[in-house]
Amino acid sequence: MHAERNKLPIGALLALAMTGFICIMTETLPAGLLPAISAGLDISPSLAGQMVTAYALGSMLAAIPLTLATQSWRRRRVLLATVVGFLIFNSITAWSTSFALTLVARFFAGAAAGLAWSLIAGYARRMVTPVNQGRALAIAMVGTPIALSLGVPLGTWMGNLLGWRWSFAVMSAMTLGLALWILITVPDYPGKTASQREPILAVLRKPGVRPVLGVVFTWMLAHNVLYTYIAPVAAQAGLEQSVDLILLVFGAASLLGIWITGRLVDHYLRRTVLVSLGSFALIALLLATFDVSAGGLYAAVFIWGLSFGGAATLLQTALADSAGDATDAALSMNVVVWNCAIAGAGILGGVLLDSLGVSSFPWALLGLLLVAFAIASTATRHGFKAGSRHTEAATH
């Protein structure tokens, strides 16, 4: 049994990665289909955009309650419940003619995603021995950068080819295949007994949990300001017509970043976090102090993607290490904080753009990243400890 867990169960980990891919694709799909959705439901594009908002609210509000409510369930049952949720609510979105019903379906699809994100990392870690947990999580997270880079263009392409309703229907069909994949490859584990469960506030008070969540919020707030408002940043460099290519470069760099992180996370988690934050901060400083050419912006985006690609793996590994047996509860908090950062970035970026212009973005990013760097660099005893996770695992 130990020898089996010492190997990486690639098929099962990729099933988790596919779950993450569907989470992100379902979230971003409306962004490339706003004109078609607004015409199909006879609403304005701005109202159609609230489909993304409803999804994010579902993830943010439901992650902790659903995670706590399902702690006693067998783990594969919970994972399949999230997949069935996507099947049901994407199907409703595909066939609904009522905007109100569509928003309700999007909210509950987001709730399914919130539960999935609180589950994936702990599940991946449970499949392997402690010395392989970082690598396993890197594989389980690979669906995220793929979906982030391809989600909007792929959704737009599907919408143009099939119509926006069939795009959601295709997502439903994919979840059917995923459910079968999970049943065949993903091992099952028992849930927690009543005596094993910890109150959510007790988990939050665990040493290391709050510093990691602080880094999650500041790092993701900085990232999402730039990601959400990449179009006006690109326009500054004369690349307003090349946003899709810029996002493709970002996605390719993110994939490389997650591969590099998979090689480093178990030995150099702390250093990799600090180097990633430092690299992103350096890009922000260069964007703030120099007029960036088109080539310079592509180079900056590549380094940004490289530094971001492994962020989910690094932060969730650090959070799970800090939370111990309460990993799922801590990761449900991560879902809430992550989505708060996404929502906050939309607000902060909009205020900056309207009041100070796009040139203020790099300075805001730099300030946020320096705060994140300060939190990570001072969390030496808990959260982002120095040394190899292999050595740590050997002592437990």
Structure tokens at 226: 């730039």
What's the pLDDT at 243? 78
Claim to verify: residue 107 and residue 162 sit in the same structural domain = yes
In one letter, which amino acid is 170?
A: V
> Where does a domain end: 197, 221, 247?
197
Are 43 and 148 part of one and the same domain?
A: yes
pLDDT at 1: 45
CB 182 within 8 A of CB 80: yes
Choosing from 133, 166, 197, the residue where a domain stops is 197
pLDDT at residue 185 in the model? 95
Q: Among residues 159, 179, 197, which one ends one of the domains? A: 197
CA-to-CA dists, residue 328 to 23, 73, 125, angstroms? 17, 12, 11
Same domain flag for 147 and 64: yes
Residue 205: Cβ-neighbour burial (10 angstroms; 0-12, 13-18, 19+): exposed
31 and 177 share one domain: yes
Largest pairwise CA distance in the chain: 62
- For residue 338, the Cα-to-chain-centroid distance in whole angstroms is 8
* Nearest-angstrom CA–CA distance, 203 and 367: 29
Same domain, 176 and 237: no
105/127 Cα distance (integer angstroms): 32
Domain containing residue 210: 198-396
CATH of the domain at 23: 1.20.1250.20
Residues 223 and 179 in one domain: no
Instruction: Give the pLDDT confidence score for residue 6 in this predicted structure.
Output: 60
One pLDDT digit (tens) per residue for the chain, 396 residues: 444 546 789 999 999 999 999 998 998 888 778 778 888 999 887 788 888 888 988 998 988 899 888 988 999 999 999 999 999 999 999 999 999 999 999 999 999 999 998 899 889 988 998 888 888 888 998 888 778 767 667 777 888 788 899 999 999 999 999 999 999 999 999 987 776 777 888 888 888 899 999 999 999 999 988 887 888 888 888 887 887 788 888 888 988 998 899 889 888 999 999 999 999 999 999 999 888 888 899 999 999 999 998 898 899 889 988 888 788 888 888 888 988 888 888 788 888 888 898 889 999 999 999 999 999 999 888 889 887 765 554 444
193 shares a domain with 211:
no
Same domain, yes or no: 150 and 213: no
Measured CA to CA, the distance from residue 92 to residue 89 in angstroms comes to: 5
Same domain, 147 and 253: no
| pLDDT (0 to 100) of residue 392 | 52
Q: What is the pLDDT of residue 53?
A: 82
For residues 116 and 257, state if they share a domain: no
In the block, residue with structure tokens 């971001």: 308
State the total domains in the chain: 2
Same domain, 133 and 213: no
Task: Assess whether 47 and 93 both reside in one domain.
Answer: yes
